[in-house]
Amino acid sequence: MIIHLNKSIDNDKAEALGRQYEAICMHDGARYVLITSSKVKELDANLKSLTEASFISDTDIQLASRQYNPDTRTIDLGVVTLGGQTANTIVITGPCSVESEEQIEQAATLCIELGVKVLRAGAYKPRTSPYTFQGLGLDGLKLLDKMRTKHGLKIITEVRDSTHIDEVIEYADIIQIGAKAMYDQGILRKCGKANKPVLIKRGFGSTLQEFVQSAEFVLSSGNPDVMLCERGIRTFETRTRFTLDLCGVAWLREHTNLPVILDPSHAMGYAYGVSDLARACVAMGVDGLLIETHPNPKAAKSDAEQQLNFEQFRALHKSLGVVAGAVGRHIV
Ligand code: PEP
Ligand code: MN
């Protein structure tokens, strides 16, 4: 249950009530809010007298639920706003990993050429093998910072584990929590205290319920700016890298108030399918796309097979406006 305490209740009192009722206590900008397990369906008389409103939830998808807040959250990314009353579909692009200044400069230049406002690239890569390129770490973050300053781009980059979470929070404009980090509650809670938007990628073995409950860790820690990213789940199919769960996307849009971003690059795993999938995603009216691009995909140090070259991305980008227009949305 979500309980809006009376506005006159201060921090000490709210915290004490939180402990008494085994609830998370947070401030939502207007008042203190207690959140109990969704199994709680009734307020006791004492708490009722201190309460402005209360909301029953079917499951522990609570703050993210349309039952609680029917409107899609508005997320201000600085250069553009997503969700809410906007019909914006943001296109985010860049390489899988920052590899060198030359490579990330080329990626940034492509963004500027096409009016793409957010550059993606990982500096701490969550690789499947310890023997492959692990990312440039802090040096990579500094190169991304340089691109932000030089080109006025916003940066999304991922946090892999707790060892560098503060660095990523400091350098990123949008913090990406990778598919493998989705269950890391240390990362989720810390991002919940950060004053920056967070994009959570769905773990490839996670149910929709588990995925959105990860978002609940961030939201209930006080950060309202959370986006969900479907990036493919593991199924019996092995010919494609993962299976892009568009049914799941429809479910997320129906049941949650969080903007939904689609990553067809990791789902497909091969460049040849990415543009068609991206258009299909835009036709669903999603809030954004995350597409991997590389100046020379064959030479990429991670995810070489799935990155679009710049020609492929230019062609894709050009076609997206038409698809978006057909479903009443704008590419930004
Ligand atoms: C990435 O965005 O490059 C990445 C590693 O994604 P995921 O966490 O979805 O595998
Ligand atoms: Mn990648």
Per-residue DSSP letter, 236? S
The pLDDT confidence band at residue 7, using thresholds 50, 70 and 90, is very high
CA dihedral 216, 222, 223, 228 (to 10 degrees): 0
Q: Mean pLDDT, to the nearest integer, of 16-45?
A: 97
Please state the rounded mean pLDDT for residues 33-57.
96
Distance CA 232, CA 164 (A): 26
Question: In the structure, what pLDDT confidence band is assigned to residue 202 with cuts at 50, 70 and 90?
Answer: very high
Find the mean pLDDT for residues 283-301: 98
Q: What is the mean pLDDT of the chain?
A: 97
pLDDT band at 191 (very low <50, low <70, confident <90, very high): very high
CA 221 to ligand 1 centroid distance, Å: 24
**Which atom, in ligand 1's list, is nearest to the CA of 120?**
2
* Ligand 1 pocket test target in 96, 98, 229, 241 with most atoms within 8 Å of CB: 96
- As a whole number of Å, the CA-based R_g of the chain is 20
Ligand 1 atom 6: residue of nearest CA: 178
Calculate how far, in angstroms, residue 292's C-alpha sits from the geometric centre of ligand 2: 7
Distance 329 CA to ligand 2 centre (A): 27
Which architecture, in CATH terms, is 74-331?
Alpha-Beta Barrel (3.20)
pLDDT (0 to 100) of residue 86: 96
Where is 215: in which H helix or E strand? Answer: helix 208-220
**Tokens 């399918």 map to which residue?**
273
- Which ligand is nearest to the Cα of residue 92, counting in written order? 1
| Backbone φ, ψ for residue 206 (5° rounding) | -105, 140
For 227-271, the pLDDT digits (tens) are 999 999 999 999 999 999 999 999 999 999 999 999 999 999 999
Average of per-residue pLDDT across 203-215: 98
Encode pLDDT of 120-169 as tens digits: 999 999 999 999 999 999 999 999 999 999 999 999 999 999 999 999 99
Query: CB of 37 within 8 A of CB of 61?
Result: no
What pLDDT is recorded for position 51? 98
Residues 6 or more apart from 106 whose CB is under 8 A from it? Answer: 295, 310
Distance 58 CA to ligand 2 centre (A): 35
Count Cβ atoms below 10 Å from residue 269 Cβ, excluding itself: 17
Pocket test for ligand 1, best of 120, 231, 244, 303 (most atoms within 8 A of CB): 231
Domain boundaries in the chain? 2-55, 74-331
Q: Which amino acid is at 28?
A: D
Confidence bin at 2 (pLDDT 50/70/90): very high
C-beta separation of 171 from 157 below 8 A = yes
| Per-residue pLDDT at 123 | 98
For residue 30, the surrounding DSSP H or E stretch is none
Say if pTM beats, i.e. exceeds, 0.95. yes
- Amino acid residing at 313: F
In tens, the pLDDT along 87-131 reads: 999 999 999 999 999 999 999 999 999 999 999 999 999 999 999
CA distance 293 to 274: 11
Nearest-CA residue for ligand 1 atom 2 is 96
The whole-angstrom distance between residue 121's C-alpha and the CA centroid of its chain comes to 14
Determine the distance separating the centroid of ligand 2 and the alpha carbon of 84, expressed in angstroms.
29
| Structure confidence at residue 160 (pLDDT) | 95
Q: Relative to the alpha carbon of 201, which ligand is closest?
A: 1
pLDDT of residue 323: 98
The C-alpha angle 156, 316, 77, rounded to 5 degrees, equals: 25
Q: From the CB of residue 289, how many other CB atoms can be counted at a distance below 10 Å?
A: 26
Residue 18 has a pLDDT of 98
Q: How far is the CA of 254 from the centre of ligand 1 (A)?
A: 25
Q: What is the mean pLDDT of residues 47-69?
A: 97
Ligand 1 shell residues, CB under 6 Å: 96, 122, 126, 178-180, 201, 231, 266
Q: What is the mean pLDDT of residues 48-60?
A: 97
Query: From the alpha carbon of 176, which atom of ligand 1 is closest?
Result: 2
